[in-house]
Amino acid sequence: MMKKIRKLIISLIQIAAVLMVNAVIEVIAANSEKKHYEAALQAYNQGNIEIAYIHLKKALQQSERNLPAKLLLAKVLIDKNSYPAAEQELNDLLAQGVDNNCDLPVSHLANLFVHNVNLLTYYANL
């Protein structure tokens, strides 16, 4: 009876250790994702589009559902004139349930995208 209890306790300790390690790994990944997003935002605000792009890609490697990072990436891609990639990011945001009623100005960014494409089309036809 004591051996069974001892084995059960050891098994519970092992399970708890694995759960703790997994929790620590998730916290580290979340911190890394947050740091990359914050670095990207700072770089973007300073006009360093390429640095912002690099940090955003790293943040999104940690979590593809980081909506603020995806939105900022769409803005960066527009600034880089990478319109098809920006459109894909906007479509991903909309597919993830972001709409006009949320805090993220996706509709404004979409309007900007359409405006830029219209300008490019206009100037290409001159």
Residue 27, pLDDT above cutoff 70: no
Residues 6+ apart with CB under 8 A from 34: 59
Q: How far is 49 from 82, CA to CA, in rounded Å?
A: 12
- pTM for this predicted structure: 0.63
Tokens (6 digits) for 96:
């993830």
Domains of the chain in start order, with CATH, are: 2-124 (1.25.40.10)
Give the DSSP letter of residue 122: H
For position 43, what pLDDT does the model report?
92
Q: pLDDT, tens digit, for every residue of 49-94?
A: 999 999 999 999 988 888 889 989 988 998 898 888 888 888 888 7
Q: pLDDT, tens digit, for every residue of 3-26?
A: 777 777 777 677 766 667 666 556
Q: What percent of the chain has pLDDT over 70?
A: 65
